[in-house]
């Protein structure tokens, strides 16, 4: 299975008889999204066929994961990729990018926040992207609190450039941002040290809960700061592995009830690892979402 690090470098009712939560009505046209990293191997082999299969399942939006390093969207120009999306009734409102401190074969990786960002923004705008998301900090890109302050500065700069193209910059978390350093939480630093208009957050619900944090509490503390969510569940085992939405322990009804407070506009199902075919897993997830959450 391709790892996230190597891949990124290459490539309506709450229950029967209950009304839809007013908070959920804030989500545009009730889009149900998929982070394409979940089906990364299939996207590498046959992106057009994979998108058609995803759309047939009922997903109507996707989030990209491969621009970094290739400066294309799954091997296609922005215009060509936008055309394939349109043919399948899909939109791609959000796409993932990297900071760019790491090098590949001794050379800077283009299409990152630090290298080739102008072209990345222009290409994103051409593809119809509304949110550009810093997806992940490698171990070498984390460091101490001073490093997180540096990351915050780069997010602000990247956000300024994105704003000129009508695009919102965001940051996607894992669990390591919640590990305290010298009495301070790096995620809190990222929230406070970035301009709340230039930099929003894509809250990964799985990693947040795994870190022992309550997504709803974050929404209350920083209302409107979380326009994007990653929706994936955690199994009830000591390892707290990824599992299909509705098959684990995360209380999604409680979280989705606060969509309005969070500022959520789009959410994306993501399952980094699946027990079998990722298509079986994303089918289970969307079935549960349609039955119980939207």
Give the orientation angle of helix 47-57 with respect to helix 78-87, to 10 degrees: 40
Nearest to 159 by CA among 134, 140, 142: 134
Terminal Cα distance for the chain, rounded: 32
Nearest to 9 by CA among 52, 51, 44, 48: 44
110 backbone φψ class: left, alpha, beta (φ>0; ψ -120 to 50): beta
Do the beta carbons of residue 27 and residue 265 sit within 8 Å? yes
d(CA 279, CA 274): 9
The torsion defined by the Cα of 251, 255, 256 and 259, in degrees rounded to 10, comes to -170
Nearest to 71 by CA among 138, 105, 108, 119: 119
Do the beta carbons of residue 206 and residue 172 sit within 8 Å? no
State pTM to two decimals. 0.91
Per-residue pLDDT tens listing for the chain (294 residues): 445 544 444 443 233 333 344 444 444 448 999 999 999 999 999 999 999 999 999 999 999 998 977 889 999 999 999 999 999 999 999 999 999 999 989 999 999 999 999 999 999 999 999 999 999 999 999 999 999 999 999 999 999 999 999 999 999 999 999 999 999 999 999 999 999 999 999 999 999 999 999 999 999 999 999 999 999 999 999 999 999 999 999 999 999 999 999 999 999 999 999 999 999 999 999 999 999 998
| CATH T-level fold of 4-292 | TIM Barrel (3.20.20)
Residue 1 has a pLDDT of 46
Q: Kindly give the pairing relationship between strand 266-269 and strand 228-231.
A: parallel
Q: Kindly give the pairing relationship between strand 228-231 and strand 199-204.
A: parallel
The torsion defined by the Cα of 20, 33, 200 and 214, in degrees rounded to 10, comes to 60
Residue 17 has a pLDDT of 32
């Amino acid at each position: 299975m391709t790892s996230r690090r190597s891949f990124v470098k290459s490539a309506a009712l709450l229950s029967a008889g209950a009304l839809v939560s007013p908070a959920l009505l804030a989500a545009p046209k009730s889009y149900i999204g998929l982070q394409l990293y979940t089906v990364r191997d299939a996207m590498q082999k046959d992106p057009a066929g994979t998108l058609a299969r995803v759309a047939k399942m009922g997903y109507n939006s996707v989030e990209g994961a491969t621009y970094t390093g290739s400066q294309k969207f799954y091997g296609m120009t922005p215009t060509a990729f936008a055309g394939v999306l349109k043919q399948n009734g899909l939109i791609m409102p959000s796409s993932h990018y990297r900071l760019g401190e790491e090098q590949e074969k001794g050379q800077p990786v283009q299409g990152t926040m630090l290298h080739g960002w102008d072209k990345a923004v222009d290409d994103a705008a051409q593809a119809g992207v509304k949110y550009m998301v810093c997806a992940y900090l490698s171990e070498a890109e984390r460091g101490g609190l001073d490093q997180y302050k540096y990351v915050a500065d780069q997010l602000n700069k990247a956000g300024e450039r994105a704003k000129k193209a009508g695009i919102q910059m965001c940051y996607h978390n894992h669990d390591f941002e919640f590990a305290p350093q010298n009495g301070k939480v790096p995620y809190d630093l990222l929230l406070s040290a970035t301009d709340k208009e230039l930099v929003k957050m894509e809250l990964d619900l799985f990693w947040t809960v795994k870190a022992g944090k309550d997504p709803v509490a974050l929404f209350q503390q920083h209302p409107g700061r979380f326009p994007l969510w990653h929706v994936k569940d955690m199994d009830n085992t000591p390892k707290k592995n990824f599992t299909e939405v509705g098959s684990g322990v995360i209380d999604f009804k409680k979280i989705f009830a606060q969509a309005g407070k969070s500022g959520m506009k789009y959410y994306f199902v993501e399952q980094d690892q699946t027990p079998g075919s990722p298509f079986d897993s994303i089918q289970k997830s969307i079935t549960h979402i349609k039955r119980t959450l939207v």
